[in-house]
Structure 1
Amino acid sequence: MVLEASLDVLPCFMNQMIFSLSLAMVFSCFSASGETPPPSPALEAKLTALREVKVDAGAITSVQRDASGKRIVVKLVLNPAKESNIKVEVWLPDSDNWNGCFLGLGNGGAAGKINPGGLSSMSGQGYAVATTDMGTAPNPDSGIGNPEVWKDFGYRATHLMTVVGKQITKAHFGRDPEYSYFSGGSTGGQQALQEAQRYPEDYDGIAAAVAAHCRTPLHAYFLWNEQILQTCPFSKEQDASVIAAANEHMASREIPVVAGKFVSDPRCTAQDIEAVIALARKKDASLTDAHAAALRKLFAGPRHAVTGERLFNGVPFGSSILASHGHLYLFNWVFGADKKMTEINFGDDMDTYTSKLAPYLNAENPDLSAFEKRGGKLIMTLGTADSVVPYHASMDYYERVIAHFGGSLDKVRSFFQFYIVPGLAHGGGPGINQPPNLLEAVRAWRETGVAPTSLLGRHAEENGKGKTVWDMPLYPYPTRTGWNATTSSFEPMEGPRGGVDRIAERFRPAAAE
């Protein structure tokens, strides 16, 4: 997921691109013939200078003007260790179009490839932009038994991408970026929080959407759900029935305009779980006793088989059960490609898995003091209908950051805001299906010093008369969106703090290099 900035609302941050008539005529001739125009002597000199840049533990493999004629693309390979192979791309806009900022973009899933669409879009908006494959090419099997890949995927590739990206940017434009930002979602959110925690000097502002920062416990949740669903599968129709039951059961706690459409706050009790299961079975006669037993385990979430310690929380109310499993490559990294997922236990095997991967992959350190002291700004979001990266771990992480700063919510909000987005699933959802532009918000906050008081998410729903689209204001946790019946408008209201089981500390061990 790439969060794109709409910089037309920030005109003072941009320089206008000016093309001469003669240059436009030259480009139009080559565009008509389908060929890339040859570089001018001045451009060729710039390309040559970039090719001669020396980078630590790596090499530049390609420097080319792209086919659009609007940017330079620099490709690199970094090898900080013998078993490490990290690919990086840096896209540089023309000097007249550079907004003075460097932008690091996050990846997704197991990474292993580079998304040119994000690089093209953001360089087109004036950023010098870089991203990395996180060292997992050509596929996730590259990490099997390879601790160097674990380090690269966990934190190292993103930091080295940032260092070399700024180096290339300075070499090309002749000066350092005025500001540096990072934007990423899901795995990119893991990268975002690793940067804030491990390398606070790298970025001035960070946008971390649907952040998969509690990485090894999250994949324990995937495995837990996988084993349950292998034994007791659910159809798409049954999944929809369970979602509908949760939405209906929780409707009385919602503001009127969204009641029954999605769940804004999926925090629940054991009694709520039983009520949703009963309502789902009432709605769908195909849900059996076995399905009910499976739902109890899915909603409860994984615990250690021997000690009973919390490994992760369960599938959130109103989110898809069918989207909550898979993504099991981390277990192959530890146990090998031939290990059957049904044979991995939640006792000794989980201890082994945690000890090997968690110190590199997890971004769980609540001490953000160095990032705060340098003036860094961070916005993190999670959707309530997201069963791929559920909200629990991020909510608890934010509470632990507050505790680290002496329990002062105001202090933490002065540099770090957390937004829970009602109804947002992983990449969309029944509720807010156009999430707020976090990069734009972070950038405005960092450069003006004025913290956002709310963000806007866009909701669209089909009805008998077509599509209804409306904006819903979102407020920083724990404030939530309320409804004023007198004025028929949204308003902020204080919401509860915490309320989720904390993952046992030993499954969130201290970070290691």
Structure 2
Amino acid sequence: MKRQILALATVGITVAGAAALYAVVDRSNDSAATPASANAFNCSTFQIPAPDGATVESLTARNVPTGTFQVPGSPPLGGYPVPDVPAHCEVTVTLTHPSANDHATVQVWLPESGWNGRFQAVGGAAYAAGNIGGVATAVKQGYAAATTDAGVDTTGLDTTWGLNSAGQVNTALLENFASRSVHELAIVGKQVVNNVYDQAASYAYWNGCSTGGRQGYMEAQKYPSDFNGINADAPAINWNQFEVATLWPQVVMSEAHTYPTSCEFNAFNQAAVKQCDPQDGLADGLISDPGRCDFDPRRLIGTKVQCDGKEYTISETVADVVRKIWDGPRDANGKQLWFGLPTGADFSALTAGVTDANGITTGSPFTVPAQWVSTFVQKQRSFDTANLTYAQFDRIFQQARSEYDSIIGTADPNLSAFRDAGGKLLTWQGDADQLIPTAGTVDYRKRVDALLGGTTRVDDFYRVFLAPGVAHCALTGSNDMTALTDWVEHGKAPDVLRATLTTATGQTVSRDICRLPFVSRYTGDGHPASPTSFRCVAP
């Protein structure tokens, strides 16, 4: 079934290219859940107990007929229709916290008929804590679904809420965004389900990508009993490391006084794919194991590139800029601070620049990390991140970790409580993720393995799948929620995920996505577009 276009993780990805973050669930599994009686549906105002430390400011309920839901806002996070949303009860609960003067809204939609007995909470994107379009789609799939705005920005691209009138960080709203509101969403959502259907949901699931992925990991780390299953994709964990590190390409270009053209950047990716693509046994435009790709950017020095009617010659300086971007940020002593842009990932979002009438180019940093640094780290909304020096970058990187790791870092590898609660955590991420380095997710999984007894034991409750050639939150045709449901409700742990991939030449292929630590390899025969022509092997 075709996936609906939902919230994207950040700007810089087209709506068409980033298609849905929420997979269609195979309804054949519905027997595992307990649907409500049609007579039990009660869409009316009722009272629910407030979560600890919160007060319920208001609760409203209304019946909404079948129709098309127009997601509010502008693309890519809004401004698109979700057709054929079934008749449902829309419950809106507003919470506040003592002395915080906040107003966090939870919306719960509950299908009037055809409820599959499950509750699904939907995650946010960038600085939006939730996604109402994802709720509409989940309701179409039979879920009682919910999301929260955490009392902060709902467009995803505004952090004016981050500082109060005195220029100080709004710690209450940051706590909402970081962790508190998602936990309260779980509590309130389940209570609403119980009131409307007169019975509890059989299972509770989390579903999100990027910020939504980070929220899912925060739940597993901090509130391990909230959800039976968590689908947390391309997760924005290690928040302070990766967020600041995505400014590194701008720092490198500024220090080198060199801003390569998009054609030059593309030439390096094309050369890397050409060299490393065949390592999996088939030259199909996909690098199955980017970690083994050792393409040296210096090989292109002197190569001529045609771009918009102009010819460029790859210089040693340009090659060094690319090398440093792929390598990732390092401090003055050469110690690696975080991971760089994955080989083969698109450069454009993190290397954008603006050229004036005199032909002078300056950097145009990606807005999400730029706002994190200016608002929360520097506490000056006007702070310019376009021309940071290496020394400034190092200082900001360390300051972000020192001030905010304990609040929003989402990097704690101790998932023992989640494991003991019987939870299952599933993650996929594109190997060509241009916004969140895939290596950071792999590093987190390795730290969990080291803490909790090794890969085999951790695989019992937590699995990661890496998709060759896939950009940020852009995996299509995935059966991730189906796989998670089977795992939670039937004990069938997924060895692969089925998905649709697009090669470097634009060809669409169906492929089984391997779980860590395995990688895809061509069997030597069979049609290259068929998933049966590949197997998952140890790297």
Q: What's the TM-score, normalizing by structure 1?
A: 0.82
Q: Secondary structure at the match of 1:459?
A: strand
How has the CA–CA distance of structure 1 residues 462 and 494 changed in structure 2, closer, same or farther, with 3 Å as cutoff?
Answer: closer
Q: Work out which of the residue numbers 162, 180, 192 in structure 2 matches 1:143.
A: 162
Q: Secondary structure at the match of 1:183?
A: strand
Amino acid at match of 2:267: S
CA distance in 1, matches of 2:22, 2:480: 7
CA distance in 1, matches of 2:517, 2:216: 22
User: Which string of whole-angstrom CA distances, capped at 9 and with x for unpartnered residues, describes residues 215-274 of structure 1?
Assistant: 11011111212333454323332232121111112134133152xx132222157xx35x
Q: How far off its partner does 1:142 sit?
A: 0.8
Q: Is the 8 A contact 2:207 2:231 kept in 1?
A: yes
Residue 59 of structure 1 corresponds to which residue in structure 2? 57
1:202 paired to 2:226: yes
Q: What 5-or-longer segments of structure 1 have no aligned partner?
A: 21-41, 497-513
CA distance in 1, matches of 2:26, 2:141: 7
CA distance in 1, matches of 2:381, 2:149: 21
Q: Secondary structure at the match of 1:49?
A: coil
1:442 paired to 2:484: yes
How has the CA–CA distance of structure 1 residues 468 and 486 changed in structure 2, closer, same or farther, with 3 Å as cutoff?
Answer: closer
Residue 217 of structure 1 corresponds to which residue in structure 2? 241
> Which residues of 2 match residues 57-456 of structure 1 at below 5 A?
57-68=55-66, 70-81=87-98, 82-94=100-112, 96-111=113-128, 114-137=130-153, 139-144=158-163, 145-230=169-254, 231-258=257-284, 261-268=285-292, 272-273=294-295, 275-279=296-300, 282=303, 284=305, 285-305=312-332, 308-324=334-350, 326=366, 327=368, 328-331=370-373, 332-335=375-378, 336-341=380-385, 342-343=387-388, 345-407=392-454, 409-428=455-474, 433-434=475-476, 436-456=478-498
- Larger relative helix fraction: 1
Q: How far off its partner does 1:421 sit?
A: 0.8
Q: Is the 8 A contact 1:15 1:97 kept in 2?
A: no
- The alignment's C-alpha RMSD in Å is 2.7
How has the CA–CA distance of structure 1 residues 129 and 279 changed in structure 2, closer, same or farther, with 3 Å as cutoff?
Answer: same
- Number of matched pairs: 456
User: Which string of whole-angstrom CA distances, capped at 9 and with x for unpartnered residues, describes residues 398-456 of structure 1?
Assistant: 1111111222x21111111111111111143xxxx525231111111110011112211
CA distance in 2, matches of 1:243, 1:54: 55
CA distance in 1, matches of 2:88, 2:45: 15
Q: What's the TM-score, normalizing by structure 2?
A: 0.78
How has the CA–CA distance of structure 1 residues 128 and 436 changed in structure 2, closer, same or farther, with 3 Å as cutoff?
Answer: same
Residue 490 of structure 1 corresponds to which residue in structure 2? 533
Amino acid at match of 1:62: T
User: Which string of whole-angstrom CA distances, capped at 9 and with x for unpartnered residues, describes residues 179-203 of structure 1?
Assistant: 1010110111100100111111000
How has the CA–CA distance of structure 1 residues 333 and 61 changed in structure 2, closer, same or farther, with 3 Å as cutoff?
Answer: farther
Q: Is the 8 A contact 1:58 1:80 kept in 2?
A: no
CA distance in 2, matches of 1:142, 1:101: 34
Q: How far off its partner does 1:17 sit?
A: 10
Amino acid at match of 1:411: R
Q: Secondary structure at the match of 1:189?
A: helix
Residue 24 of structure 1 corresponds to which residue in structure 2? none
Q: How far off its partner does 1:283 sit?
A: 5.3
Amino acid at match of 2:325: L
CA distance in 2, matches of 1:194, 1:11: 28
Amino acid at match of 2:466: I
State which drifts further: 380-389 or 145-154: 145-154
Q: Is the 8 A contact 2:118 2:201 kept in 1?
A: yes
Q: How far off its partner does 1:375 sit?
A: 1.5
Q: How far off its partner does 1:291 sit?
A: 1.7
CA distance in 2, matches of 1:72, 1:424: 37
Q: How far off its partner does 1:97 sit?
A: 1.7
Percent of pairs identical after alignment? 25
Q: Secondary structure at the match of 2:381?
A: coil
Residue 45 of structure 2 corresponds to which residue in structure 1? 49
Q: Is the 8 A contact 1:4 1:122 kept in 2?
A: no
Q: How far off its partner does 1:383 sit?
A: 0.9
Q: What 5-or-longer segments of structure 2 have no aligned partner?
A: 1-7, 9-20, 67-85, 164-168, 306-311, 351-364
Q: Is the 8 A contact 2:297 2:323 kept in 1?
A: no
Q: Is the 8 A contact 2:132 2:147 kept in 1?
A: no
CA distance in 2, matches of 1:189, 1:72: 27
Q: Secondary structure at the match of 2:224?
A: coil
Q: Is the 8 A contact 2:241 2:338 kept in 1?
A: yes
Amino acid at match of 1:289: E
CA distance in 2, matches of 1:111, 1:423: 27
Q: Secondary structure at the match of 1:382?
A: strand
How has the CA–CA distance of structure 1 residues 397 and 125 changed in structure 2, closer, same or farther, with 3 Å as cutoff?
Answer: same
